[in-house]
Amino acid sequence: MTNQSTNPAPAKTFALGGDLTVNRMGYGAMRITGDGIWGPPQDHDESIRVLQRAVELGVNFIDTADSYGPNVSEELIAEALHPYAQGLIIGTKGGLLRTGPNQWPIDSSPEHLKEALEGSLQRLKLDQIDLYQLHRVDPNVPFEKTLEFLQKAQEDGLIKHIGLSEVTVEQIQQAQQYVKVVSVQNMYSVDNRKWEAELEFCEQNGLAFIPWYPLAGGNEQALSKLAQIGDKYGASKQQVALNWLLHRSPNILLIPGTSKVKHLEENVKAADIQLSAEDMAELENFGS
């Protein structure tokens, strides 16, 4: 363990929408599907064990989407966890079509979202989705039409809270004219700060920020730096990347995904690492 000055421990929970207390280390259920996020998983029973073990480890926020599989992820969540434990919050998403492995055409028309939302409610065996997230803004559909659908679905009680994904500050502000936005899910990691302004906006306005692809994927320089720091703590580079995000902002919710129980347990343990202030500063400067 390093003898450098210790960084203050981050908050463990966040009040999503002001009324749902979630543990900031969540789970993303994209990877419990087949190759290309298409079809059933290679090991069905292990995927069920992953979901059940996540809850055992204190995860109470699971992120999924109708497009994961498609449908497979939501079906597995219900199979593994329904009836759901009190306080377990499931967020799902709609707005993408699936035409094949790794293919994600956008369709955020009200007609498609109605079908997607109804399907998610049925597959998850829920009367109301805790957090329904627009997977993408559709360039071919007026944004206000999409927002009007979400507004109506919330008024009808089908959605408790509404979130957005891959959006700018301007788009968040536009959406806020129709609905209360409680979360933003954008790509973000130690080496990818494209959405820094959006993170800051969320922090200043009490919105959760949910980074996807949080492990500096494919960037050898970043992975090398994370591994170098991890060696000081007996931690993996993935654990360091996740821990940095927990420290980065108190409104960040993590949703690392995996299809293996062992990897899940390693991800959850990332919250226990006490990075030094010096190592945090080094990682902070890496993305600047």
* pLDDT tens sequence across 5-17: 567 788 899 999 9
Under 8 Å between Cβ of 159 and 150: yes
pLDDT tens sequence across 142-191: 999 999 999 999 999 999 999 999 999 999 999 999 999 999 999 999 98
68 catalytically annotated? yes
DSSP 98-141: -SSTT---B---HHHHHHHHHHHHHHHT-SSEEEEEE----TTS
Q: Which domain holds residue 137?
A: 13-286
Does the residue 2 lie in any domain?
A: no
For residue 74, being part of any structural domain is answered with: yes
Distance CA(73)–CA(123), nearest Å, equals 9
| Residue 284 scores a pLDDT above 90 | no
| 118 occurs within a structural domain | yes
Helices (H), 57-109: 72-81
Backbone angles phi, psi at 152, to 5 degrees: -65, -40
The domain that holds 170 is classified in CATH as 3.20.20.100
pLDDT number for residue 5 = 58
- What is the number of domains present in the chain? 1
Shortest CA distance to 136 belongs to which of 168, 88, 91, 90? 168
Q: Tell me, yes or no, whether 217 lies in a domain.
A: yes
Q: Distance (Å, rounded) from C-alpha 195 to C-alpha 207?
A: 14
Q: Long-range contact list for 81-89, CB < 8 A, 24+ apart?
A: 81/51, 81/52, 81/55, 82/124, 82/125, 85/55, 85/60, 87/21, 87/60, 88/55, 88/60, 88/62, 89/16, 89/20, 89/22, 89/60, 89/61, 89/62, 89/130, 89/131
Answer whether residue 5 is part of any domain: no
Domain-located, residue 245: yes
- Taking the C-alpha atoms of residue 224 and residue 81, their distance in angstroms, rounded to an integer, is 37
Per DSSP, 275 falls in state -
Written as one letter, the residue type at 5 is: S
CA 277 to chain centre: 26
3-state DSSP assignment of residue 212: strand
In a domain, 50, yes or no: yes
Look at residue 1 and tell me if it is in a domain.
no
Question: 60 by DSSP, 3-state: which?
Answer: coil
Name the residue among 70, 143, 73, 159 with its Cα closest to residue 108.
Answer: 143
Per-residue pLDDT for 264 more than 90? yes
Q: Which of 68, 84, 132, 188 is catalytic?
A: 68
pLDDT in tens, 94-149: 999 999 999 999 999 999 999 999 999 999 999 999 999 999 999 999 999 999 99
